[in-house]
Chains A and B, each alone.
Chain A
Amino acid sequence: MTSALSIDTVAKRFGGVVALDQVCLDIPEGTFTCLLGPSGCGKTTLLRIVAGLEQPNEGRIVLAGTDITALPAHKRGLGMVFQSLALFPHLSVAENIGYGLKLRGVPAGKRKAKADELLDLVRLEGVAGRRITQLSGGQRQRVAIARALALEPKLFLLDEPLSALDAKLREEMQVELKELQQRLGVTTILVTHDQREAMTMGDLIVVMDHGEIRQVGAPLDVYRAPADRFVADFLGGANLLSGTVADDGTVALGDTRIKAAHANGASQGDTVTLCVRAEDVHLKLGKQRGSNRLAATIAFVRDLGHVIEVTADSSHGQFKVLVPASEREGLGIGAQATLHLPVEACRVLVR
């Protein structure tokens, strides 16, 4: 695959604060990339630099082989959906969508046809003549998407566009947006702080923190094999335990030794993090002997419907364990249990 967009050692400082620290990223043609991270990690700054709304202090932005770093936003020809949506309150729906075309001198008839076509694409019919204030939140969302696609951009940028919607509508829109992107095949970058949203939509997830990229990969790869403690923690659902690598290659948590299948190149004496996902831990009531097993007491039980989340205290820290709903019986606060950490589910994280 060719690179649609190359971000080449881009750095950005605001006063003394480093927003982006020498970021490099290649985005393949036609992919849906999610920039994921907590607020203040630099993901929005990176998107705004790509859009030309912010100028980097160092580095280059290369779009389809052309250096566009010095090109102002209005000459880049990208489509962008803003967090606030930024719809023009003084224009109608069709005028909003046709705005960019009008600037390019496209005649009114063609603009109208294009607006109808796009409204059809985002499944929003019969509102072309309405004012923005007459639309619901979900409708505005679709208008903003249609407007950003009107110029048939080489790059489609979305800055947390779904954050204002309620949970149910947000999930529907995630699926719809992903389908739309696949149909059009447009290279897309979406900024989000919601890991579920990134997992749902992204072909590629870019996890960022403190102005740096921590990991790039396909959603399941990043989830299954987090590169470091931050990524594992941010994606959620992981039990993270600090330990040291012992002489036999196991991870020593105090006097307990845990064998891990994925050593990630850690060597003896290193301080490491042992990572094991909540759904991979097996919980059995009562005491059980054996390797990779820890004694624990149940501290809290949360019924999530399809699954039960058990919080269990062990002498090495607190664990979250997901138990199938069918195994509900006997799971009471204060009950003794044994946690089994399967070898193949245990990962050693060096950072």
Chain B
Amino acid sequence: MTALARLYLFVVLGILSAPIVVVAGVSLNERKSLYFPPRGISLAWFEQLFTDPSWRGALINSLTIAVCAAVVAVLVALPLAYAIWRYKLRFGALLYTIGLAPFILPPVVSAIGFLSFWATVGLYGQMIAVILSHGIFLTTLPLVTITLGLRSIDPTVIEAAETMGADERAVARTVVLPLIAPYMLSGLAFAFVLSLNEYIIAFMIAGFTVETLPVKIFNSLRYGYTPTMGAAAVVFVLLAIAVFGLIGRFGDLPKLLGAWERKPD
């Protein structure tokens, strides 16, 4: 690795982290103004995030929606991925593509779709509508990770279980589920973090009734910038790093992201 190559890596990493560094600095300002580097160090804005009813409410809304949506996403993805893999369904490839589509299309298209749907059904503005929309929108992530997990199972392991007396149900319960559990958790985590950060769908479906943290930040931007937004951003970045860091620590992150399986050391 030449020095030039290493320098390039660090410059890009620097650019990627620059806005976050600035926001983190801004969130530490002592007074209610944005300065970078911060003038005076204070954690008051973090405190406000957790104590001020409107910020706190938005944070709780975001977390509730993200947890529920991630569970919905896994509940949709798991049986679909399992059925496509285990039974080699004739329309498997098509179903898989439909499962991938929400995440690949521009989110605003899905947002308008969801908006018209919930308006028609009469659940416009409800939290449940946001949860279900996020669940469907993000189902792509557990679908991809679980499918990856299923495909990495040695098929003779399943056959071995069969020769020892395991029927369909026992195979699923004692072999497949334990083996894909880490992939399922990764999918859940990905969906959770992305739901937490999702703006446009949450805004269109319930932007004025169920304020999530990103919606709250955006709505507040119109009345001027406050360091609390910086504090919220920092909390979100740390949360994302914690979740992905856990996957990276206990799982095989390069493989999840598409590298070949790790060679046995």
Contact = CB atoms under 8 A, between A and B. Distances in A.
Direct contact of A and B (CB under 8 A): yes
Interface of A: 51-53, 72-80, 82-84, 86-90, 99-100, 103-104, 147-148, 150-151, 157
Interface in B161-211: 161-167, 170, 174-175, 178-179
Given A74-B165, A103-B166, A103-B170, A80 B179 contact: no
A72 B163 CA distance: 9
Nearest to B179: A90
Interface in B14-73: none
Nearest to B178: A90
A141 to B, nearest CB: 14
Nearest to B167: A74
Given A90-B178, A99-B174, A77 B156 contact: no
A80 B163 contact: yes
B164 A99 contact: yes
A51 B159 CA distance: 10
Interface residues of B, number: 17
Interface of B: 154, 156-157, 159-167, 170, 174-175, 178-179
Given A86-B154, A89-B179, A53 B164 contact: no
Contacts, number: 69
B156 A82 contact: yes
Nearest to A103: B165
Given A86-B154, A88-B175, A89-B179, A75 B159 contact: no
A104 B178 CA distance: 19
A100 B160 CA distance: 10
Kindly list the 5 A-B residue pairs having the minimum CB-CB distance in the complex, ordered from nearest: A100-B164, A86-B160, A86-B156, A73-B162, A80-B163
B179 A100 contact: no
Q: Interface on chain A toward B: helix, strand, loop, or mixed SS?
A: loop
A99 B161 contact: yes
Contacts of A88: 157, 160-161, 175
A103 B164 contact: yes
A83 B159 CA distance: 12
Contact of B165 (A51, A53, A77): A77
Given A84-B156, A89-B179, A90-B179, A151 B164 contact: yes
Contact of B162 (A72, A84, A87): A72
A74, A84, A88, A103 — which one has the most chain B CB atoms within 10 A of its CB? A74
A103 B160 CA distance: 13
A14 B174 CA distance: 30
A148 B163 CA distance: 9
Contacts of B178: 90
A53 B161 contact: no
